[in-house]
Structure 1
């Protein structure tokens, strides 16, 4: 099978590409000229230089493929990058979807669990959960809008499946993205954690679920690809255990992060630059992003592994690739805690 992958240098996209190559597929990747070359080094893939926001380059990349996997996205937990978020996540997704429709091939569109409402430990959210209320950040808002655009095109004949990953950890996190949390815990051993929680899944398992969705997914259907629902306190404690660091001591009370988020919003208004810590991030980190993957388990054969395995694999990969004493752009762990990609 000939498959086009967007976002191939990201955590999920790179795992997808590697699994496609391993099973013998012919892989085309759409990459920007400025993209990091390391994730694709020595991989037998056909590279097309372009951008999802450039419809002509998307069409060139999709010219001779049998399926498209769209993982590329602009992730920002805040509101100041709204225009960029819409251009990439909404208009870019429309470009990819149109290319798939013109080719008459299946599209697997990668969204996020956060387009659904959050759940609880006893009642995790699923694909039938409501999407009511204002999204907490522009990333969730634009991904929700992009899903609506894809579903509208499905009604017009597009063959597409939507997958909604949870908080991913695993190897091949070059940027790093969600792996920043693990690196922060390993290098700074934070005393306190956000009060919320997330559904931890392995990037390798999500990639496998996506490959399965190409052949087994029902058109127009959403599939949550999540994992174990766990508080950030327990997750960071597990990370500390795996990396040999001191575990966190307590969960942050509500008032401290709210004050920090408010201060961040004030700084945004004064300076025009939005800091990592802002009110959108605080709201996201206080929620329990708990989800059920039962539909994907039943229909796609999705099989999420325990968080310890994902943490261990990610930590070993970071050690092998020289990340242990480096934390990308000094980003806050709370940023990584919000949404992993």
Structure 2
């Protein structure tokens, strides 16, 4: 039996579908019935609704230990995809609880139940920091606690420390660090928000840069690593390092809408997040921009995918091609 946490999220739902298509017995955990519908909708999107009933759903939560006791019965392999993704400073405690404490619980059960192997879906946010003479971030980059990191990045790095603890206790595991994951999903969540905003005429672009990857590549690589003899390794997963302007233009072209035409300079973005903060206090609405997301929009970070390419011979889906593919699913 294979257990997938976060089976109602973008990666988890695609992973569950991939595993079932390949004949695996899959158990997935969910917190409420509404969240299951997201996964069902994804199966329908791919016209694989006949496979949905093969999922063994268990109501559980990574921070609820008694519920995990049931979820881990007869489980041999675990894909830990569940996580909170938020850059809202108000979510700091919740990020630590779900991402760090939740991962600790998963590791403890894997050790106690003698699970054969665990795959943890981390993030490039948890990778280390560049030194003065370095230009590209690899798996070997060292985390510098003196440098500023978002609460999300800190929580994912803390989660990785729990995985490393499990390794010391005899748990076989692999860590994957995907870049920004693109894929068809509920369009009000994750990368889907970006597609929705650009479709509605979002006017701004930036010249920041980061790594991107298709969700199908993330899933394929995770499964390949789990079926391999590799243990206690981490792998950066990005298909391409892309400037945000190029990404936005590609999405706009795929959706047949106007490209964002106004350059949002770092100074302008710094002004925007401060205005957003002020208005959120006055009108009590959820912030759309904060210091962490503001900085990431104009930071230029290059990530290396050489390790996974050399290890598995991976060939990634071209991001521009994939954007066209998932944009066609919106119609």
Indicate whether the TM-score tops 0.5.
Answer: yes
Q: Is the CA contact 1:217–1:300 (under 8 Å) kept in the aligned structure 2? A: no
SS at match of 1:142: helix
Aligned-partner Cα distance in 2 for 1:302–1:206: 11
Q: 1:89 is matched with which residue?
A: 99
Matched residue of 1:312: which SS?
helix
Aligned position for 2:252: 240
Are 1:28 and 2:27 counterparts? yes
Question: Which residue is 1:109 aligned to?
Answer: 120
Residues 260 and 250 of structure 1: CA distance in aligned 2, closer, same or farther (over 3 Å): closer
Give the equivalent residue in structure 2 for 1:220.
Answer: 232
Specify which of 54, 65, 76 is matched with residue 55 of structure 1.
65
The CA distance in 1 between the partners of 2:162 and 2:312, in whole Å, is 24
Alpha-carbon distance, 1:270 to partner:
6.5
Shift of 1:268: 5.7
Note closer, same or farther for the CA distance 1:270–1:175 as it changes in structure 2 (3 Å cut). Answer: closer
Partner of 1:155: 168
CA distance in 2: counterparts of 1:294 and 1:175, whole angstroms: 33
Residue 35 of structure 1, CA deviation: 4.0
Q: Which stretches in structure 2 are left out of the alignment for 5+ residues?
A: 41-48
- TM-score, normalised to structure 1, is 0.86
TM-score (norm 2): 0.89
CA distance 1:101–1:181, shift in 2 (3 Å): same
Distance change (3 Å), C-alpha of 1:60 and 1:135 = farther
Q: Which protein, 1 or 2, shows the higher relative CO under an 8 Å CA cutoff with sep ≥ 6?
A: 1
Matched residues in 2 for 1:119 and 1:161: separation?
Answer: 23
Structure 1 residue 160: deviation in Å?
1.3
Inter-CA distance 87–35: structure 2 relative to 1 (3 Å threshold): farther
CA distances 1:68-99 after superposition (whole Å, capped 9, x unpaired): 00111111113211111111000111111111
What's the RMSD between the two structures over aligned residues? Answer: 2.2
Which consecutive unaligned segments of at least 5 residues does structure 1 have?
A: 320-341
Residues 1:124 and 2:123 aligned together: no
Three-state SS of the structure 2 residue aligned to 1:25 is coil
2-structure distance, mates of 1:51, 1:35: 15
Count of residue pairs the alignment pairs up: 316
Structure 1 equivalent of residue 200 of structure 2: 187
